Structure formats: C-alpha cells, structure tokens
C-alpha cells in the first residue's frame, strides 16, 4: 500500500510562519513522524510539497495507478482551486484533507472549501497531530477496501448453486 502526502503553498514555512496559528513544528518533523507510522504499518509513503497549483494538480494525476491513498493539505488552494478539486475527483483515490488550524474558526474567506466535497474526509484543527489522525484514518480505509475486495473475490470463486 502506498500513500502520497501532498502539501500545498507555504507549508514549507511551518515552524517559521505564524506560530500562534500553526505551531513551532517544521514540515520535516511532521513528515518524520508520518514516515515512522508508515514504517510500523508496512506502508510506503511519499512526500511532495509545492507552492504552485499546477504542480499539485500534476502530482494528484501522477497518483492515479500508483497510490492507494492521498493525504492532502491544499493550504490556501483549499479555498480557491477548482483545478485541484477536479483532479481529486478525476482520479477517484481515497483522499483525506488535512488542515493544521481550524479553518472554520478563521477568516470568512477560509470558510469556503472547494475540495472537501470530493475528499473522503477532512481533519481540521488538531495541529500537526491531524496528520497522524489522517494516517490512522487512511489505514482504516485501506483495510476496509481490502476486506471488500477479498469478499468480492471469494463470491466470484464460490461455486454457483
């Protein structure tokens, strides 16, 4: 199983920018914790960060046929990007949206969420721990998908009455 973690604009500045909102943890530290969880659970994990909308769309499209799950913090593009929304919808890969802050308690413009309706679920406001919750959630989703597939295969192989 492979999970791709896609980080949007300005997340490369975590630990520096607005610590009162995002905390002191750097993106590299968050990724190290996620990698540890992935290793413990036999999950392949890949990390990608870009400040450019088109590169995020390209990365989402590259996941098709390559990854079984996506954890995405589209950051500011959450509120503006129909292109990212359409890419998530097009690839039909379970996608968990993560936001470090609670976007629903912030500025009015952050309450518009273009991508949530096409994501499997959203985790907001738990700080960096939200990424750990997303990893746990994705593991659960993957196990459920595998169980359904195994059941379907068993039904196909069972003798017809």
The mean pLDDT value of the chain amounts to 93
Alpha-carbon span 38 to 100, nearest angstrom: 20
| 143 has a pLDDT exceeding 80 | yes
Tell me the per-residue pLDDT of 42-89, one tens digit each, with 9 for 90 and over: 999 999 999 999 999 999 999 999 999 999 999 999 999 999 999 999
Domain boundaries, the chain: 2-157
Q: How confident is the model at residue 161 (pLDDT cuts 50, 70, 90)?
A: low
Alpha-carbon span 59 to 126, nearest angstrom: 25
Are 109 and 41 a contacting pair, CB within 8 Å?
no
Instruction: Tell me the whole-structure pTM to 2 decimals.
Output: 0.90
CB count in 10 Å sphere of residue 160 = 3
Class of domain 2-157: alpha beta
Q: What angle do CA 146, 152, 154 make, to 5 degrees?
A: 100
List residues with catalytic annotation.
Answer: 22, 99
In the chain, pLDDT over 70 holds for what percent of residues?
99
């Amino acid at each position: 199983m492979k999970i791709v973690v896609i980080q949007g604009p300005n997340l490369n500045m975590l630990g520096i920018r607005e610590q009162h909102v995002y905390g002191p943890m750097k993106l590299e530290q968050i990724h190290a914790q996620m990698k540890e969880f992935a290793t413990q659970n036999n999950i392949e994990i890949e990390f990608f960060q870009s400040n450019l909308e088109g590169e995020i769309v390209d990365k989402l499209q590259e996941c098709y046929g390559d990854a079984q799950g996506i954890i995405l913090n589209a950051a500011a593009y959450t509120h503006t990007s129909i292109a990212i929304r359409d890419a998530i919808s097009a690839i039909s890969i379970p996608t968990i949206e993560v936001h470090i802050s609670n976007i629903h308690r912030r500025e009015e413009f952050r309450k518009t969420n273009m991508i949530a309706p096409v994501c499997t679920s959203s985790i907001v406001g738990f700080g960096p721990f939200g990424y750990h919750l997303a990893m746990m959630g994705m593991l659960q989703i993957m196990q459920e998908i595998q169980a359904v597939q195994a059941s379907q295969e068993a039904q196909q192989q069972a003798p017809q009455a």
